[in-house]
Structure 1
């Protein structure tokens, strides 16, 4: 090969290396197996759903308790009123139509007396009907109250089951031990929209991902925007295709690099690690507002109901999540 060709080839290699060095690296696929990720997703969603159901059951229980109290007072008053009617009839207080006719001095007097008697009879009948309706309503309200209490107990069992499912999956993967996490920060994110019952609406990969040109869910975009507003401005990548069982291809996950420029193939340290610590703590503080499914950072994973636990992703810094914070959104 001539000298000119050798120089040209060497320059091409240098230029390619320069371009690669200036571009942010891509994060490896989420650590762990597909079975692990599926189990963690199901456990986290189940916990959140049970938590919402408990809140709704408690709210309904409170409403029904007020209704029962009011109905009990109403029934009590109606029982007293109907009791007085019964006592009056027992003493012969009811006037027969014949007596009204005999005691009337004129047709007008008779009609007036008969009208009064009919009114009193209808009033007495209404009192008895109102009592029966009030008693029936009270009986139903008590049944509904019992059902609300039973729903709470059922969902509490579901919460416990989902916690156990998550811990079992983590332990099977070599993790799951409790950890100290990364400190606490106050919640400040604007809440993502919920359904009227407090649950999270189903969303797909339907809006443009500002980090890759792919797609993400509206709720993931909301979390991205709130994270930026909170001052976390290091390199981030959300949508990623071809990942088996992960949240990235579904548009429900973002990787936030600890380093400003991108994913470095080293464990974060110094200011980069502190940045990741603050970001992870901020996500946990705003988990209910942003519909956080789980957060992975520095060989630890946070899920609703389990807190921070050890996480063995395997592989280098990307798989162990020591160079980026992984966020999965419901």
Structure 2
């Protein structure tokens, strides 16, 4: 029979290991909001990135990702409950093993760390030697088993806590994703007047207009009406002419009229244009093509308002100001047959 050498150092350190775990009781797992974002869902996929995606596409895609993130949060919550139960079980096992391991370590300390050779050399005869050898083997086996059980219990606790921390981080990431999708949908709707104004018939993105010249302070100074109006025999400002060219470049090439000698708004000042929904004259939007054209033109102007120096936009009984967003419009015209834009 081969007698295994005793791991005295392991036993000597066992009380310290046990005390260190007793001194640091388990606390609820936590994670900083800025934790791993590897599970973070994809924010640019699907139809949203396409040039012809409508606002309906944006809302549908955002809503689907919101629902997916919410489901992931629910799954993480369930996983956290399961892991918390596993931690409780593993910690109970660890606490149950600590007295036994401490007792073994204490016994070894009291006996002066008697070595295997000294223990066996004290035998009276061969039978006594054999009995002691068997006893020593059994003691070592029991001690090794208890230490192994304690180490496994400690490892189980640590693994469960690490998994719980990962679930918390995953949940927080998905909560952020949920908020981001909700905010993105709300912002997309608010910018172009909401679902009630567009009925979803509007492109999710508009081309970026070339910025109009600004003054040395970065603002837009008042301009005189000194540029020939390409739509009438009147005049418009240089800023209005720049806007006119950018709108045309963006593909809005139906009928438009800018300067008007009389009437309200900025038309007599050469600082406004009315963009029709058809190739000639003006007619109330009575089909999806006209409504979509008006929506997309309005969205282009609003999204590029800062670049073009836009004062306000009126479309379909609603008026948009850069400072206050969309409001109900109660003017002499409902503006259901054209998009009006005024420049600073």
TM-score, with normalisation over the residues of structure 1?
0.43
Tell me which of the two structures has the higher relative contact order, counting C-alpha pairs closer than 8 angstroms and 6 or more residues apart.
1
Larger radius of gyration: 2
TM-score, with normalisation over the residues of structure 2?
0.41
